[in-house]
Structure 1
Amino acid sequence: MTHHRTLGVVLTTAVLCGCSSGDGAEAAAEGQPAVREAITGGSAQSFPVLRPEVLAEVPHDPSAFTQGLELHEGTLYEGTGLEGKSQLRVLDPATGEVLRAQSLPGQLFGEGIAVAGDRIWQLTWQDGVVLEWDRATLTLRQQLPLDGEGWGLCHDGTRLVRSDGTDRLRFHDPVTFAETGSVTVTIDGEPVTQLNELECVDGQVWANVWPSDVLVRIDPARGRVTAAVDAAGLLDPEQRANADAVLNGIAALGDDEYLLSGKLWPVSFRVRFVEE
């Protein structure tokens, strides 16, 4: 698919650092020079830069403020956000149809999700709690205190991995959610911040870099970025509802295929990551 923007442009705009539009490019360049240089082919580049090859398009609810996406045993789970509108959903992976949905209590702002055995963990953004759901019934089991913000979450088979918008990945027990450690994410020693929705795949962690069209693959043992994906132009600009409609959702489908989606996107994409 034709890319509407180069990766260099994506990483030198205000969106990567959350800066105001007045000082966008300059502040972004100062904020994460290692990311910019590495992905645009500078001296720091030490990993492959990939692009998503689109294999198919799948309809997606354009009202869904997607915060988490995971395929587990043939069922696609989605966590959505916004106060008073957040849900945990079960989707048909082939059609995108919402099969079941459970609203979060009160005004909780939902974030990333992860399946761990018979439970689903769902983060909240700044509410200071994490939710434990029964996977079979989507019944809320309990709310536990959460230290700091909740952004992305995935399960690597042994532990939960959480992002909180900083340059750190935090590790949690999949049964009690107790924090067991953390690692700083870097490129050549420089921190990579604003890590968002996560997907654990084969011992590595994929992360959306909010609010850009960039994904990075991270070695959680050392925190080093091992690959990046330029997904700029994946969604037609005319299909973006507003500035909040950013890439945010990655689910591993097996056979090196992934489902990519975003907040308020009318479509998701089944893709394979290939080198330029």
Structure 2
Amino acid sequence: MEHRSYMISQGGGVKSVSILILVFFFSTFSPLVLSDTPSSLDTYEVEIIEPEVVEIIPHDPHAFTQGLLIHNSKIYESTGLYGESSLRIINISTGEVEKIVNLTDEYFAEGIAIVNNSLIQLTWKENIGFLYNSSSLEIIGDFTYEGEGWGICSTANNNLWFSDGSFQISQKSSENFSISNDFLTIKYNNSPINRLNELECPFENSLIYANIWLEDRIVSISQSTGDVCFEYDFTNIRLEYENENSRELNGIAYDESSSLFLITGKNWSNYYLVDFNRSFQDCQIIEEVVVENNPSYLQYIVIIAVAIILMPFSWPTFVLVFYKLLRRQTQHPPPSGTTEKEREE
């Protein structure tokens, strides 16, 4: 009798341990795997602004503008097309070309940027960039990179943002142009926006300004999220001031001395010094979108698989319970009125 009691007690211990293991697993891991806690997604309101023209400066209408910047009170311009690509220094008051360097015919010049007083110029499909002395425009070096070169701008910490015509821009170190430190997906109202072209990164804020290929608009972008904050529409400015031979807007440079932007386009007859108005405001959150994280079939499979692995720990309990139930069904009950002592005898 004592031995039998010991067996039952041992079975009860196995049962308790099995139940505790299963309870611990499901209480601990089920909320993690099958979490339905909603997450939030910030949505930004893209305000469309028509910039105000402050000053008009003559521009060479034969210049197929691909890059633009202002440095030391001079305009630097990169022009494209095979056989016509160049790098220029231009008088910011008169628009007169003061110095020009022509690229050889195999190169299609693209965007430009300044880093440590050196000028960087990209090429379209040639996978090579050139380094120039910013005063003499003498070539002082070159570098290679993967993919197409479209736009480029430098940040306050001397990192560079590259565009390639897609909806992503890549960040690279000025010490090693071939290594991408980060990629930023650009989103307009949470949808990727393609054809990002010429770039500008004013040191005074954390926004990136980008031309959109084939369109007369510029967007400002949050460097932290990739969201478009503002859109600047130049459609009416082009219709009012430019001739029918002009092509799309493609050139943006920030002027620190006036806090204004200089813009132009391919084969435009003028540069325009414009006021972007709320240009340095960051994106404005207009609503918080709740996203339900519903569990997937894979998550259910994980739960079932782990439960099966743990099942052997509960088998002794199931066997013991089944045995006790079966024994009760086959064991005859004692006659009515039989004492405990009589049953033992």
Same fold per superposition (TM over 0.5) = yes
| Distance in 2 between residues matched to 1:236 and 1:188, nearest whole Å | 27
Give the TM-score normalised by the residue count of structure 1.
Answer: 0.79
> Is 1:228 aligned with 2:227?
no
Equivalent residues of 1:240, 1:264 under 8 A apart: no
CA contact (8 A) 1:154 1:160 kept: yes
Q: Counterpart in 2 of 1:195?
A: 196
Tell me whether 1:257 sits opposite 2:275 in the alignment: no
CA–CA separation in structure 1 for the residues paired with 2:152 and 2:253: 12
Question: What per-residue deviation string (whole Å, max 9, x for no partner) do you get for residues 104-154 of structure 1?
Answer: 233200000001112111111111211111222211122322211111111
Write the distance in 1 (CA, Å) between the matches of 2:182 and 2:98. Answer: 36
CA separation of 1:180 and 1:105: change in aligned 2, threshold 3 A? farther
2:244 is the alignment partner of 1:245: no
3-state DSSP of counterpart to 1:84? coil
**Partner Cα distance (2:44, 2:155) in 1:** 27
**1:62 aligned counterpart, secondary structure:** coil
Larger Rg: 2
Q: Percent sequence identity over matched residues?
A: 34
1:94 Cα deviation after fit: 1.0
4+ runs deviating over 6 angstroms? none
Q: Is 1:177 aligned to 2:177, yes or no?
A: yes
The superposition leaves residues 185-220 of structure 1 with CA deviations (integer Å, 9 ceiling, x where unpaired) of 012431011011111022210001111111100012
- The corresponding residue for 2:332 is none
Give the Cα–Cα distance (whole angstroms) in 1 for the partners of residues 210 and 170 of structure 2: 13
| Aligned match of 2:167 | 167
Q: Is the 8 A contact 1:215 1:229 kept in 2?
A: yes
Task: Return 5+ residue gaps in structure 1 as ranges.
Answer: 1-43
Q: Shift in Å at residue 237 of structure 1?
A: 6.4
Contact conserved, 1:217 with 1:227, CA < 8 A, in 2?
Answer: yes
Which digits, 9 at most, give the CA deviation of each residue in 1:155-190, with x for residues without a partner? 112211111100011111123323322111012431
8 A contact 1:241–1:265 mirrored in 2: no
2: distance between equivalents of 1:240 and 1:92?
Answer: 23
Is the contact made by 2:44 and 2:227 (CA closer than 8 Å) also made in structure 1? no
Q: Secondary structure at the match of 1:177?
A: strand
More strand by share: 1
Distance 1:195 1:170 in 2: 12
Q: 1:122 to 1:108 in 2, by over 3 A?
A: same
Tell me the amino acid that sits aligned with residue 121 of structure 1.
Answer: I
Give the equivalent residue in structure 1 for 2:83. 84
2:45 alignment partner, SS class: coil
What one-letter code is carried by the residue in structure 1 that aligns with 2:213? W
d(CA) in 2 for partners of 1:270 and 1:116?
A: 24
**Quick one: distance in 2 between partners of 1:241 and 1:98?**
24
Q: Distance in 2 between matches of 1:59 and 1:73?
A: 19
Q: How many pairs were matched up?
A: 231
TM-score normalised over the length of structure 2: 0.64
- The separation in 1 between residues aligned to 2:189 and 2:54, in whole angstroms, is 33
- The equivalent residue for 1:186 is 187
Does the Cα contact within 8 Å between 2:46 and 2:229 map onto a contact in 1? yes
SS of equivalent to 2:78: strand
Partner residue in 2 for 1:147? 146
Q: For 1:189, give the aligned amino acid.
A: N
What is the aligned counterpart of 1:208 among 200, 211, 216?
211
The runs of 5 or more residues in structure 2 that have no matched partner are 1-42, 279-345
Partner Cα distance (1:173, 1:120) in 2: 15
Structure (1 or 2) with the greater helix fraction: 2
CA distance in 2, matches of 1:246, 1:263: 6
**Which residue is 1:113 aligned to?**
112
Instruction: Spell out the pairing of 1:45-56 with structure 2 (5 A cutoff).
Output: 46-56=45-55
Matching residue of 1:65: 64
1:137 aligned residue: 136
In the TM superposition, what whole-angstrom CA distance separates every residue of 1:27-60 from its partner, at most 9, and x where no partner exists? xxxxxxxxxxxxxxxxx76132211101111000
Q: CA RMSD in A?
A: 1.8
8 Å Cα contact 2:130/2:139 also seen in 1: yes
